[in-house]
Chains A and B, each alone.
Chain A
Amino acid sequence: MKALNIVKKLTALSLAMVLATGCDDKLNDPLEQRVLVEDTDYTKTENMAQLITGAYELLYALQWETFPLLSVRGDDVNAAGDQFPLTETDFFRYDRSFWMYNSTWLNFYDDIIKFHATMEEIEKYKEFAANPATADQYIAEIRVMRAFELFQLARLWGNILLPTSSQTDGLYTTPVSSFEEVMTHISEEMDAAIPLLPNVRPNQRTDIKGGITRYTALAVKAMANLELKNYQAVADATGAIISSNAFELYPDFYELFKIPGKLSNESLLEFQYSDFGQSSGEAEYYLHAFFGPNNWTPAVAGSSGGWGFWEPTMKYIKFMLDRNETVRLETSVLFTREGIQRIQEDPNYANLPAFVSNTTRDGDVIGRTDNQPNPRAIFSSGKHYLPSNQLTPGRTRYGENKNFLVIRYAEILLMHAEALVNGATSTVMSADDAVNEVRNRAGLPDISGVTLNEVLNEKFAEFGMEWGIRFYDLARYERTSELTHDGRTYTPAARFIPYPLAQLDLLTQLNGN
């Protein structure tokens, strides 16, 4: 009886063991919720479309510090507020430990490495694609994005690394390319991309409205060649854009930078954001708060102001007043009461046009109204301002739903003129006509026999606060006296900023460059 018991127990025991150990094959179960690239079915070529939109996501997801670091050093704008790295950089006092340097470096390079990864994936689809040209077009679009970001990196740091694939292991030994090599590389890349890209204006694209087209690539090519002072190439590239007759200046300069100006016929490259027309919830946006006035009384109460970090210079404002600028000044600068008083302290500017007001034409009152000082900025950037009455009702974030203009037709026209006054030739348009087309939109009369100075002044007036265009113009021509303003001294040695310390630690070849 007892033995029988033991057998029962033993049987139960062995059964238990067998049952339990039968679970061992569970060890081969895959991990949950992981989408692996290696599991991709490359015959489903329609999935390529999500890769190209993924690349646009990278391009548009610009971290806020990137733009100010690129653009702060010109005589058009001051770093206001308490961002020490930015104000120091504005004064040409650089420090490789500044967090913004490392962050901006990574913002661009991180995109570039992922652009390579995306292009490598699209190549794998191409084999199976019914229309391989689509794959080629996508790759060409990403090459333009990559070139645009390399262009910005080189403008900041001069000599940089040119990654050639998504594999980072090789970067430790990648030699540093000189500024000229980078710009030449960009130009060549654009030549390769141009034939593969759609021959339409970006807002005419039906698959990705506002996406990159042949003209975007031509624009990037022109910008790179301008840095190389390769003026004929600039004239040819800009001439090709102008002669397409695809583009026109948006008639209302004020609204160009606001909701009505989204994806206009002037736009060659534009970062797109949206609140999708909803009063709350999901939204894609750029952090415009950086630019906004830190005190305001919006027409729509409860709309958020900004940080007051981006202040047009007094020099720029007086320059514009001297030129009798109207809509361009009104659009570029938001005035506080205190700011207006400061302008008027100079007897030459005691009488100001009516549009110089602390109330915008949309009824937002900028700055303090109690005669107290505005602690950060007495002026704010109007180009990065969205009137509170253009916000989708319910939304309160400063500038939400606003796009970010990157390359516009006005820049093409003025680069064309700049190339011509530097000796290039063009059959498409004269320097005078190019400059006057821009002036006419701004409500200014024609001029003739334009000089380099006049072209640069026109660019100053047209592109204040935009992408550091002014600084890079002056730096290129080594116009140290114009950059030496308001207590800062510019020398050509200050053209490029130092490599971030975190990168020097990783990439020893950067030492000494």
Chain B
Amino acid sequence: MKKTLRSYLKVLPVLLMCALAQPAWAQSVVVTGTVISSEDGQPLPTVTVREKNTNNGMTTDMNGRYRLTVSGKDAVLVFSFVGFVTQEVVVGNQTTINITLNPNVSELGEVVVIGYGSQEQKDLTSSISTVKTDEINKTPTAQAMQALQGKVPGLQIVSSGAPGAAPTVRVRGIGSLEGNAAPLYVVDGMFFESIDFLNPADIETISVLKDASASAIYGVRASNGVILIETKSGSYNKQAEVVYDGYYGVQVAQNVLKLANAQQFTEYALATGSSADAAFIDNAFQRFGRSRINPNVPNVNTDWYGQVLETAAPIQNHSLTVSGGSDNTRYSLGVNYFQQDGLLKSTRNEYERLNLRSKIDFDVNENLRVGGNINISNGTQYVAENSVWFKTYFAVPILPVYDDLNTAATPVRLSNAQTLGYRGSQNPMYDLLYNDNRNKIGKFLANFYAEADLIPDRLTFRTAYNYSYSNINSRNVNFEYSDGVTDFQSSIRRSHATSFNQIWDNYLTYKQNIGLHNITAVAGYSFRSESTEGLFARGTELDPSPSRIQEELWYISLADVIDQGGVGDFGAKTYGSSYFTRLAYNYDDRYLLYGTYRRDGTNIFQQKWGNFFTIGAGWVLSEENFFNLSGVDFLKIRGGWGQLGNAGVTPSVGAPTVEQRFLAIDGVRVPGNVVIPTYDYVDRWETTEELNIGVSSRMFNERLSVEADYFQRDTKDAAVTIILPLIRENVRRSAAGIRNSGIEVAMNWSDELANGISYRVGGNFATLNNEVLTLGGPQYLDGGQAEFRQRSIVGQPLQAFFGYETDGIFQNQNEINNSGYTAEFINDSGIEPGDFRYKDQNGDGVIDDQDRVVLGSFLPTLTYGFNLAVSYKNFDFSADFQGQSGHSILNRKRGEIIFTTDTNIDAELATNLWTGEGTSNKYPSAAGLRKGWNQSMSDYFVEDGSYFRIQNVRLAYNIRNKTVLGTDIPDARITFTAERPLTVFNYNGFNPEVANGIDRQTYPIPAVYTLGLNIKF
């Protein structure tokens, strides 16, 4: 048996070679020469030099030289090298052929990373967008995904301003209601839910696999799109290059919301007619005196945002990279330090990260390559209490920051609104000064691979083991303090979670060209395990009492009391097992076929195994003889269909559970088991089917490129939350069908003018139509908070805001009487002038639940971006713009008045309230704001979230080949960047980027101005 196999294997390559080799009967000729690059005139090593249509070839040496014996004068030499345009030369009578290769300005020949392999751009049948390192590093951020905002059509990035927080990323809308619908990130083969730990400068490319035929090779994890990240490698035969890259800059809070000042607030509070509110103002007069400018206003006018916001918060990043390689080894080593301060004063609010990495590839022999990659990331994040944003918005302006009369407040005499009669202390400084929340995040990512050519140039086997170990160590400390009314004891909570994930991939790649038939086939197996374990504990009354200057004493062991209810542990284990195969075929680069199949298994669901197929096809019209469109260099029509799974939904037990709680019986803490009779039933992953049709074209000598796609993505068995009657627990069922469809277009024009100016103009847009197809029976499902209803209705967007449509404000009693409402209804509902007029949608004279309509969706229907770049001599300039529209934001801050009235309101509202006939047709009266009638969910709370932003403006100056005092100085580049300098929107909030559309407390997105330096030693 063994012998047979061996002899077969011995013969196989010979047979294959025979089939392809041409008989060599002509007079042979020896050709020599040097290959250089047109870029810098330097010799190019490892260029493939091959006699066309034969197996005869070699690669150039370190000096770019080659020597090849060819079959005769008719032979054609083909020079090919990755990143350069392939050239063909007829040998003729020449014996020395020197070649200058031009860099491949065309992306068509570029190699695109796809799952478990790569493909040339021109052979793709699916929609994949690739963003490269230069583009990524234009954005001064610790979050690589942030750099993609506005650059990839169909990719929605919702920024987060908090230090160390990752943006929300959506590929082609929301196909799932769970897990933020986050895409799968694959970093050099390892799966991640977020790449917040990666240094953007370590990334070579980010490929967004948008459609199913591209991402289906990742099966059950792929339904929200897949984002492939390749980290930087060294280059063979290249001298070590040391690069410093860094920037320093400041972040400035943008579009800071104006809240009512003391005068506006006082007028509003008195206009409500509430005696309590009048009494608060009166107390403020007594305590703080009257303003000399306006004696009807207390002598305090606190701008709370001004008090808590830093004017400019620093951000900095420094990387040092060494890369290079020899004949058989290439390496890249790097260290990176990133530091970002938060926008809040008086508290620790920052992020700091140190990354170390190394990537080494080694050719053991011509048929065996091994390599390894290690990435260590150590981050420390200090998180400010999120409630600060909430309190800052609501704190009344007639309260000072400090109050010397509040003598019992320790250690600092902060003011307390309770001294004026307000319900809470209101002052956000308590939340800034008296706590400290730290997360230490360590990530260790390693992968090792071996790749063996079982049949040289034909069959390759690759085994790769990916390993990721991470731990998150959280410590939350609350200091002992008094707000002058209540004493608060100190406490400390720590939690520690470690995760260990591994993936082992084994696969075979087979490539063969038979005449004009080109085949690539892949088959393999992948095993994945993910586990997390953690512990948490809490203690109170630390002794000594914790303070910022004694951080070394912040330990639970020093707490007088260990909180019984605050101690516990947790864990999770999931396994995945997958068999996959892919076939890519093309005939003469004209007809393209593509297919994948993955069989995926997981322990998360009762349904253990699933099969995921995809097929794709492309037709390169421009390769056809009949094709004769002038100006069009390349035209391809492509289409694909595929199935994907989403195992990102939280699995369900599918049975009633018992929850242990505690209660006091006669002063003793005893456990009690509460039976939860309702339960989730999510026994399968969500399945997505997607159809993608696209066109790729290059025109006018490849100066214009156009990529256009239409997609329709249907999710089946999507887990939805169902509100059950009479019980608080909502349940999840695999019941919904959701469709996302849209068009994506990207166009780029680049050219060089005669006077040395080169420029590039690009634009892209994507539309998105999100629609509920089915809810497994019911016509709608309610979601959101009961007071701010969101309803998913068949035929409408998911979780659309749902309520009354306002039609102005009733200006006088006459308008109320002629409103069309019945007299009885007017009488019962107590409508007054200054109240909203709601549209009586069904015309029955009564405003009730039948009159509620869809008010908007939090998903944008249009996202767009455009950019401009100009280079002249040593100057580079670029500007990026992006925006989105068609989505709504629930102004939940204005809605808070339903629950608490004794707070400040925003200036726009305060100054435009209805105060009498003709004063406002938009906002109700001050008193009306507090009436139930005006607090019903309506389009008053749901605002247009559209925005347009100047995303990035960058000016760079390059220093090349300069000498100073006769010495060469290293090449360098100085950059000035303005990130998000301007955002334009109408929404009455801080920030129009709200991931789920509900703006209750959102960290502002700052503008960032940096000065960068890049030096190549």
Contact = CB atoms under 8 A, between A and B. Distances in A.
Interface string A114-158: 101110110000000000000000000000000000000000000
Interface stretch (A90-98, A230-238, A420-428): A90-98
A330 B421 CA distance: 24
Contact of A6 (B454, B506, B669): B454
Contacts, number: 317
A489 to B, nearest CB: 13
Contact of B575 (A27, A161, A274): A27
A20 B504 contact: yes
B778 to A, nearest CB: 10
B6 A56 contact: no
Given A26-B575, A301-B408, A168 B932 contact: no
Interface stretch (A177-185, A342-350, A503-511): A503-511
Given A99-B898, A282-B564, A376-B276, A209 B2 contact: no
A84 B726 contact: no
Interface string B874-908: 00000000000000000000000011111000000
Interface in A273-324: 273-274, 276-282, 284, 294-295, 301-305, 307-308
B675 to A, nearest CB: 4
Given A35-B657, A273-B664, A372-B283, A114 B423 contact: no
A82 B184 CA distance: 47
Interface stretch (A47-55, A219-227, A430-438, A473-481): A47-55
Interface string B535-563: 00011110000000000000000001111
Interface in B912-956: 930-933, 935-936
Contact of B529 (A26, A30, A97, A373): A26
Contact of A373 (B283, B538, B653): B283
A57 B672 contact: yes
B664 A281 contact: no
Given A21-B525, A57-B672, A81-B423, A31 B653 contact: yes
Contacts of A21: 525, 527, 577
A278 B561 contact: yes
Contact of B282 (A93, A302, A372): A372
Contacts of B274: 82
Interface stretch (B204-212, B485-493, B510-518, B623-631): B485-493
Contacts of A2: 10
Contact of A97 (B604, B651, B727, B932): B932
A9 B452 contact: yes
Interface string A27-41: 111111111111010
Contact of B540 (A7, A28, A280): A280
A166 B729 CA distance: 12
Interface string B468-489: 0000000000000010011111
Contacts of B970: none
Contacts of A93: 830
Interface stretch (B19-27, B319-327, B565-573, B708-716): B565-573
A279 B541 contact: yes
A483 to B, nearest CB: 19
Interface in A389-446: 394, 396
B653 A36 contact: yes
A262 B452 CA distance: 79
A2 B454 CA distance: 10
B666 interface: yes
Given A31-B651, A167-B677, A209-B665, A7 B525 contact: no
B408 A82 contact: no
Contacts of B931: 84
A198 interface: no
A374 interface: yes
Contacts of A24: 577, 601
Contacts of A106: 726-728
Interface-centre pick from B454, B486, B571 (highest chain A CB count, 10 A): B486
B667 A56 contact: no
Interface-centre pick from B504, B577, B900 (highest chain A CB count, 10 A): B577
A82 B900 contact: yes
B408 A279 contact: no
A85 interface: yes
A32 B573 contact: yes
Contacts of A262: 667
A50 B670 CA distance: 9
A50 B673 contact: yes
Contact of B506 (A3, A17, A294): A17
Given A38-B655, A82-B276, A210 B571 contact: no
Interface residues of B, number: 112
A380 to B, nearest CB: 13
A61 B454 CA distance: 69
Interface string B664-688: 1111111111111110000000000
A276 B669 contact: yes
A4 B6 CA distance: 7
Given A24-B577, A302-B487, A29 B603 contact: yes
A110 interface: yes
B91 interface: no
A279 B787 contact: no
B92 interface: no
B667 A37 contact: no
A352 interface: no
B611 to A, nearest CB: 15
Decide if the interface of chain B is mainly helix, strand, loop or mixed.
mixed
B408 A274 contact: no
Contact of B726 (A85, A163, A208, A375): A163
B782 interface: yes
A9 B461 contact: yes
A272 B665 contact: yes
Given A3-B9, A27-B603, A396-B487, A375 B279 contact: yes
Given A35-B658, A168-B725, A279-B541, A272 B666 contact: yes
Contacts of B930: 84
Interface in A168-198: 168, 171-172
Contacts of A80: 276
Interface in B411-434: 418-423
Contacts of B782: 502, 505-506
A84 B935 CA distance: 11
B673 A51 contact: yes
Contacts of A208: 665
B655 A36 contact: yes
Given A209-B665, A274-B664, A114 B675 contact: yes
B89 interface: no
B231 to A, nearest CB: 25
B663 interface: yes
B748 interface: no
Given A20-B506, A282-B565, A372-B286, A28 B603 contact: yes
B663 A507 contact: no
A4 B527 CA distance: 29
A274 B668 CA distance: 8
Given A38-B655, A280-B491, A117 B677 contact: yes
A161 B541 CA distance: 48
21 contacts: A4-B6, A7-B9, A9-B452, A10-B454, A13-B461, A13-B506, A26-B603, A61-B663, A88-B932, A106-B726, A113-B677, A118-B675, A121-B675, A166-B678, A209-B665, A274-B669, A281-B541, A294-B421, A375-B421, A396-B487, A506-B723
Given A110-B727, A117-B676, A284-B664, 7 more contacts: A37-B658, A54-B661, A109-B727, A281-B564, A372-B279, A375-B421, A504-B849
Interface of A: 2-7, 9-10, 13, 16-17, 20-21, 23-24, 26-38, 40, 47, 50-58, 60-61, 80-82, 84-85, 88, 93, 95, 97-99, 102-103, 106, 109-110, 112-114, 116-118, 120-121, 161, 163, 166-168, 171-172, 208-211, 262-263, 272-274, 276-282, 284, 294-295, 301-305, 307-308, 370, 372-376, 394, 396, 500-507
